[in-house]
Structure 1
Amino acid sequence: MITSDPYVVLKLGKQTVKTSVINSNLNPVWNQVLILSVPADFGPLGLKVFDQDMFSSDDYMGEAEVDLQPLIASAMAFGDAGVLEDMQIGKWLQTHDNALKEDSTVNIIDGRVKQKVSLVLQNVECGEIDLELEWIPL
């Protein structure tokens, strides 16, 4: 493979969102904000990476799941993050059962609950993806 035109599809419950396509890039940076509502009976956030093809079906490039429980439980436990100092409030540990590249901490940063996640893509030879999740209470 010389190049690809990757995009990511994220799915949470019945909701699906998609990044834009980054043309001719093996190391894309989307830097996009995608918003999903967390349903009461939420499961993992699924993501699949594809290579857009003009004349055939898009090629599958890997997938991963994000356990939202550490982020949501931490955010709910600390309440209004806007009145708190910057600090770590939770952690999702890397194990052989998940796609985490390394442990991922949940932090309050500038009054917002955020979590940076580095994932190893599953069901492919290689590939990684980095996300920044943010909990926005309604």
Structure 2
Amino acid sequence: MIEVGGNSSANAIYEAHVPDGVKPGPDASSEQRTKYIRSKYEHQEFLKPGLKISNKSVPQPSPPKENSFHAPSSSSNPTPKPECLDGAIGHLKITVLQGANLAVRDMLSSDPYVVLQLGEQKAQTTIMRSNLNPIWNEDLMLSVPEDYGPVKLQVFDYDRFSADDIMGEAEIDIAPMLTSAMAYGDASMFGDMQIGKWLKSHDNALLEDSTVNIVDGKVKQEVSLQLQNVESGMIYLEIEWIPP
């Protein structure tokens, strides 16, 4: 219920098509209430036609490995394209907006770039030379497999003659967005509204709660992250769900 925006939003999904006289009234017995609740959530009898919400467990992230990824020259800026993996359930367009107060890894500054990883896929931004508050506004695309986990984000400092230095990392839980997007189906049929939320907690890198919204017929989410395992640094993103 939290992921789809609370009780009212959950009811809008799970009670979209309740026949007259089926929903228990104030004087209904415990047996009638239990039957209705199981029909509503477990059997999903009142959803929009053709909609089925799966509740799969999200795999845990693998332990971090030593960085062996090296960025290409900052002069290259290819147009991002979906990898269209077999069995992909859709795509994420992740706009890396900007970084703030990033860590110093050279003499007085750093040459940062961002790497996103989902499963075996990797996508990266261009390198921003000597900039601790870079503005990328750069779109990266990732295919979403059926057994998706979190998106891993890492920031590196580009070094020409040695391995690139890590400048912090974070994980993006995409389950709230995908759960909400699949529950509502065709977002173009709805007006602008909030449909879900990823809540800030001590277990994640969020700077603040991140809401999932339908905006101009598209499912979008703004994410602000405090980089982990580093002395300082924040990254700001916008994520858009692109259905297959």
TM-score with structure 2 setting the length: 0.56
Q: Does 1:89 align with 2:187?
A: no
TM-score with structure 1 setting the length: 0.98
Q: Which amino acid in 2 is paired with 1:82?
A: S
Bigger relative CO (Cα 8 Å, ≥ 6 apart) = 2
Partner of 1:73: 179
Q: Which has the larger radius of gyration?
A: 2
The structure with the largest strand share of the pair is 1
Partner of 1:98: 204
Q: Which amino acid in 1 is paired with 2:179?
A: A
Aligned length: 138
Query: What SS does the aligned partner of 1:31 have?
Result: strand
The correspondence for 2:164, drawn from 53, 58, 77, is: 58
Q: Does 1:15 align with 2:121?
A: yes
Bigger shift: residues 36-45 or 51-60? 51-60
Distance in structure 2 (CA, Å) of the matches to 1:83 and 1:28: 37
Partner of 1:42: 148
Query: What SS does the aligned partner of 1:46 have?
Result: strand
Per-residue deviation, 1:55: 2.0
Q: Percent identity?
A: 65
Distance in structure 1 (CA, Å) of the matches to 2:121 and 2:167: 21
Distance in structure 2 (CA, Å) of the matches to 1:38 and 1:56: 33
- Spell out the pairing of 1:113-132 with structure 2 (5 A cutoff): 113-132=219-238
Moved over 4 A (4+): none
Query: What SS does the aligned partner of 2:183 have?
Result: helix
- Deviation track 1:11-39 (CA, whole Å, cap 9, x = no partner) reads 00111111111111101111111110100
Distance in structure 2 (CA, Å) of the matches to 1:126 and 1:6: 13
CA RMSD of aligned residues (A): 0.7
The structure with the largest helix share of the pair is 2
